[in-house]
């Protein structure tokens, strides 16, 4: 499984998608996309940037 993370800094929204891989080329979402917006957006984005190469 893999958690895919994307963000829209202008719109201040983080998108999280949990996927399951069936092969190197086939994967499917196993849960609906979760969105995180303000007031949590800025804090969470800063945490991501500090702990990963985001």
| pLDDT, tens only, 5-52 | 898 888 889 899 999 988 888 889 999 999 999 888 888 888 878 887
Cβ–Cβ < 8 Å for 42, 31? no
Q: How far apart are CA 26 and CA 43, in angstroms?
A: 33
Predicted confidence at residue 20, as pLDDT, reads 93
Q: Provide the CB-side half-sphere exposure for 53 (13 A, CA).
A: 0
Cβ–Cβ < 8 Å for 8, 1? no
Predicted confidence at residue 9, as pLDDT, reads 84
Predicted confidence at residue 19, as pLDDT, reads 94
53: confidence class by pLDDT, cuts 50, 70, 90: low
Predicted confidence at residue 54, as pLDDT, reads 53
What is the pTM (predicted TM-score) of this model? 0.71
């Amino acid at each position: 499984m893999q958690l895919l993370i994307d963000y829209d800094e202008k719109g201040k929204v983080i998108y999280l998608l949990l996927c399951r891989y069936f092969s190197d080329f086939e994967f499917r979402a196993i849960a609906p996309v979760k969105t995180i917006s303000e007031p949590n957006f800025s804090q969470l984005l800063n945490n991501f940037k500090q702990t990963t190469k985001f």
